[in-house]
A = this chain, B = another copy of it.
């Protein structure tokens, strides 16, 4: 590294952006200037990063002048419009929206799994995976390298913050509303107490909602197909079979997944535990005798992918069941973006 590249954080005021500023303040200081960019509505706001007070500037083509690397955490349509503009002005874009993830000319990168892919970026754009895929993919990559993955059956336990700051605010508000009522018991009608559902399609406090994203083919949701398509692209397994059911749960931050993973080779519970224990970015907590396994409450605010409840199927010699947790705002979003950006920064 001969010079410190300049960095733009686009979407600095959102739920992921807020975590990003914290991450940038705590990781090795590899950047020169850091510029915060957001919508015109947030321009002028002051935020702290690396102990500096920074003033948010409005998104415009000129906002990217002199920027080497631009992280985007904004809605798909904003990325679709603005990532190419940033790239055309010379920035390498690391985009956390869904706009480019399945674009053949845009690599989809998880540094612990396929770091080599960052070089293949003809559009100057690198995509960051969806938070649900990211919450399990480091563990799946480690096991795939050992056993060769053929199929995944996944059920998710997704946190409210996967739907952004509005998701966090709405769950907090609903929890307060139900705390002193009998909602959720047989006599309680949560729809009578909870009026504001937005951004969810049903009450989330004291409930679970089998829905995330929008409706796609055969009744699957966009979120469920992201788990399928993105896992295939990141792991480089074109014909990986994936069935996912995505469910929102009343947790603020940290996605969990129950994973049923089918491999080509015969598995061993002890060797799988060993593989996970020795892999970068993974924390194995698997001592069921002493009730030790990861839960979102233990994982929130941490960097690794946490894995527990590793079991070898009683019916199949080549199948593992496991439970995985990842902070969806950190490894599931901001941290992975920061890791990709650091790989790019190392080129300077």
Contacts and interface: CB of A to CB of B under 8 A. Distances in A.
Interface string A270-297: 0000000000000000101101011111
A301 interface: yes
Contacts of A58: none
A291 B211 contact: yes
Contact of A300 (B180, B184, B247): B184
A346 interface: no
A175 interface: yes
A28 B38 CA distance: 64
Nearest to A323: B210
A237 interface: no
Contacts of A316: 241
Interface string A251-285: 11100101010000000010000000000000000
A312 interface: yes
A111 to B, nearest CB: 22
Contacts of A241: 313, 315-316
A321 B22 CA distance: 39
A206 B297 contact: yes
A153 interface: yes
A179 B181 CA distance: 12
A22 B187 CA distance: 12
A249 B157 contact: yes
Interface string A145-171: 000000101010100000000001000
B206 A321 contact: no
Copies of the protein in its oligomer: 2
Given A251-B207, A323-B210, A186 B293 contact: no
A295 to B, nearest CB: 5
Contacts of A298: 202
B249 A249 contact: yes
A311 B218 contact: yes
B211 A293 contact: yes
Contacts of A308: 210
B260 A243 contact: yes
Contact of A176 (B180, B221, B329): B180
Contacts of A19: 186
Contacts of A250: 206, 249-251
A275 to B, nearest CB: 16
A228 interface: yes
A314 interface: yes
A143 to B, nearest CB: 16
A295 B75 CA distance: 28
A256 B256 CA distance: 16
B258 A219 contact: no
29 contacts: A19-B186, A155-B155, A155-B245, A179-B179, A184-B251, A184-B296, A188-B300, A201-B291, A202-B297, A207-B295, A208-B249, A208-B251, A208-B256, A209-B295, A210-B256, A210-B258, A210-B308, A210-B309, A211-B309, A215-B289, A219-B311, A221-B288, A243-B321, A245-B309, A247-B256, A247-B323, A249-B249, A249-B250, A258-B258
What 8 pairs between A and B have smallest CB-CB spacing?
A155-B155, A184-B252, A155-B258, A179-B179, A241-B315, A245-B258, A201-B291, A210-B323
